[in-house]
Structure 1
C-alpha cells in the first residue's frame, strides 16, 4: 500500500514537472514570436542627422570602396547602389574589386592613398586590423579610412581607422536566437555558420548567445567556421559531416545569408532538404527567393539600397566636416513566408521595405 502510494506520488510529481516545463517552453516561444513580430512591419525613415547640401560639399571629392570580397552578392549590390548615388550627387566613386584576400585589401589601400582618394571605405568584412600599416600610410597621405558595416554599436573603432559606420549586429544575432527558440519550441540544437575573427561575427554571436543563456539555458548549438575565401569549398562538406554526425540537429543558422547557397547541397545529399529550417541574416535577393520557394524559412533583411544611402550619408558628413554619425538608422526587416512575396518574384534588390527612405534621403541631402 505504501509502495503504491509512493509510486503514485512520484508519477504525479513527474507529470507536474512536465506540465511546468511545457508551460515554461510555451512562454519562451510566445516571447520569441513577440520579439520577431516587431520586425515584420515596413520600417519608417528616420534621418540620421541634420540636412546638408550634398552636391556642394562633395564636389571634387573621391571615395574608394574596398569590400571584403567582390564575389559576395550582398556587397556587390551595395557597391552598385552607392555608385548610382555618387553619379546623382556628382562625385567620383570607385570599387577595388577583390576576392577576399588580405593582400588585395593592401593593394586597395595603397591605390587609394597614392591616388589621393578623400575617403577609403573598408566594407563589411574588410577588417582594418589586418592592414594597420597600410591604414596608417593612407591616413598620412591624406585619406580618411572608415570601416563600414563591420562593427556593432557596442564595438570600438578597429585597426587605427578614422571611424566606423556601425550596424546593430548584436540585435540581428538576438533575433536569430529568438527565431531558433521559437522554431524548435525551446529545444534548440542548432548548427551555426560563422566567419570567426570578423567584428560583425563577434557582435552577432554575442547577441545570439545572450538570448540563449537568458531564455533557453538547455539549448545548444555547434559552430562551423568558414573564412569568406573558403565558403565555396568548406561549407558544404562541413555541414554535411555535421548533419551525419548529429541527426538531432533541428535548425541551421548561417549568420550571413550568402552562405546558404553552400548549405543547401549538404541538406540534399544527407536527405535533410525541407526537414531542417534555415534562419539567416542580410536580405540578399537570391536568398529571399529561397524564402519564397520554402528552402529558407527566415531571412532578417537589410535593405541594401538603404545601407548604401546610410553609409554614404555618414561618409559625406565626415568629409564635409559635419561630425560623426553614431547610428546610421538602417533598419532590420524579417522576411518569411508571410511577406517574402513583397520583395518581388523574383526578388529585387531593396524591394519590400517601402520607398519612404528614398525621398527622405533626397530631402536630407537637399537634392529636391
Structure 2
C-alpha cells in the first residue's frame, strides 16, 4: 500500500513539474513575443507632430537671451544639443550661450548668478540639474524676472519644482522599457545584464524603474546581474574599471546597459581589454553621434536615438512659448528611434547630429514659427 501511494505521489509530482515547466516556457515565449511587438514602433521613421499653434517666433525672440546650463559640459550629448540651439536660436534672433562647467553644483550656482547679473531672459537647466539643488538661486532668478526652465530632465511622472516656469519632459520610463525589451529580444529571453547608472541624475530613477518593470513583465529568465552606480564627474575614472571587474567576476553577463550613451566611451575599452567585444551586447540611449559611429564599427549594438537637432528646435520652441505667454507643451515630443547595425549608416559616416531621422521637423518648426 505504501509503495502504491509513494509511486502515485512521485508520478503526480512529475506531472506537476511538467506543467510548471510548460507554463514557464509559455510565459517566456509570450513575453518574447510581447517584447518584439513593443519594439516595432521604435524602428519606424519618426514623424513630426506640431507642439502647438503657429506664432511669430522672431517677434517673440527679438533682443532676448538664453543661458543654457548643462549638468556637465564634458557630456558630448548635452554639448551637441546646446551647439544646435545656438544655431536654431540665431534663426529667430534668440541669443543662446552655454555656461561651461565640470558638473559641480557650485558652478551651476555661478551660472544662475551670472544670468541674473547679465539680465538674461531664460535660464535653461538642461538634462540633469535638479532645480532643488540650487533652489535659492532659482528663486532669486524668478524674483529678478528671469524665467528658469528645464528641458530633457523631468519624466512625465515627476512633480515639477514650483519655482520653475515650465518643463519640457521626456519619457525616461519609456526608454527603460525599450532597453528591457531590446535586451529580451537580443538574447532570446535570456539576458544577464550589467547595468551602469548615475543615481545622482534624477531621470535615472524612472528610467531604471521602467527597465526593471518591463523585464519582470516580459522576461522571466532575464536578470540584472549587477548594477553599478557612477557619479557624472567620475565617469572617466570609474566606469571602465567597474565594467572590467564586473565582467571578470560574472562571466555569464551577456548585455551591458550604460543608460546614457556618453558612458559608452568608457564601456567599449573595458570590453576590448576583457576580450568581450562582440560577445557581450551593448545597448544604450541618447543617439550621440560618436556612439552611432561605435555601432557602425561593431562595438555597440543598439542606441535609442533622439535627434539632437530636433531636441534643439523643440527646446527653443517650448521656451519661446513660455517667454511670450503662450501655452507650453508638457513634453519635448521628440520621437525615439532605434539605431542598430541595419540602419546606423543612415546617420552618416561619421554620424551627424541630425541625420537618420528625416528632416520633416525642420520645415515643421519653420512653418510654426512663421519663417516660411
Aligning the two structures, in what range does the TM-score lie when normalised by the shorter sequence? over 0.9
CA distance in 2, matches of 1:197, 1:286: 24
State the partner residue of 1:248.
252
Q: Which moved more, 1:242-251 or 1:57-66?
A: 242-251
CA distance in 2, matches of 1:228, 1:6: 58
Q: Which moved more, 1:4-13 or 1:114-123?
A: 4-13
Q: Which moved more, 1:337-346 or 1:210-219?
A: 210-219
State the partner residue of 2:361.
357
CA distance in 1, matches of 2:286, 2:183: 17
State the partner residue of 1:294.
298
Aligned to 2:281, the other structure's residue is in SS state coil
State the partner residue of 1:177.
180
In the TM superposition, what whole-angstrom CA distance separates every residue of 1:40-67 from its partner, at most 9, and x where no partner exists?
1111110000000000111111111001
CA distance in 1, matches of 2:11, 2:271: 46
CA distance in 1, matches of 2:51, 2:83: 22
Aligned to 1:347, the other structure's residue is in SS state coil
State the partner residue of 1:66.
69
CA distance in 1, matches of 2:295, 2:29: 26
State the partner residue of 1:28.
31
In the TM superposition, what whole-angstrom CA distance separates every residue of 1:294-315 from its partner, at most 9, and x where no partner exists?
2111100001000001111100
State the partner residue of 2:192.
189
Deviation of 1:345 after TM superposition, in Å, equals 1.7
TM-score, normalised on structure 2? Answer: 0.94
Deviation of 1:6 after TM superposition, in Å, equals 7.7
CA distance in 1, matches of 2:313, 2:252: 43
- State yes or no: 1:83 paired with 2:78: no
In the TM superposition, what whole-angstrom CA distance separates every residue of 1:3-58 from its partner, at most 9, and x where no partner exists?
88987776666555444433322221121111111111111110000000000111
Q: How does 1:223-238 map to 2 (within 5 A)?
A: 223-238=227-242
Aligned to 1:78, the other structure's residue is in SS state helix
1:328 aligned residue (332, 357, 362): 332
Size of the aligned set, in residue pairs, is 368
Aligned to 1:56, the other structure's residue is in SS state helix
CA distance in 2, matches of 1:71, 1:156: 28
CA distance in 2, matches of 1:217, 1:201: 23
- State yes or no: 1:269 paired with 2:273: yes
CA distance in 2, matches of 1:92, 1:306: 18
Aligned to 2:304, the other structure's residue is in SS state strand
2:317 aligned residue (280, 297, 313): 313
- State yes or no: 1:49 paired with 2:63: no
Deviation of 1:130 after TM superposition, in Å, equals 1.2
Deviation of 1:339 after TM superposition, in Å, equals 1.3
Given that 1:192 and 1:254 are in contact with CA atoms closer than 8 Å, whether structure 2 keeps it comes out as yes
TM-score, normalised on structure 1? Answer: 0.95
State the partner residue of 1:157.
160
Instruction: Structure 2: give runs of 5+ residues left out of the alignment.
Output: none
CA distance in 2, matches of 1:274, 1:4: 50
Aligned to 2:195, the other structure's residue is in SS state strand
Aligned to 2:43, the other structure's residue is in SS state coil
Deviation of 1:218 after TM superposition, in Å, equals 5.1
State the partner residue of 1:343.
347
Q: How does 1:120-159 map to 2 (within 5 A)?
A: 120-158=123-161
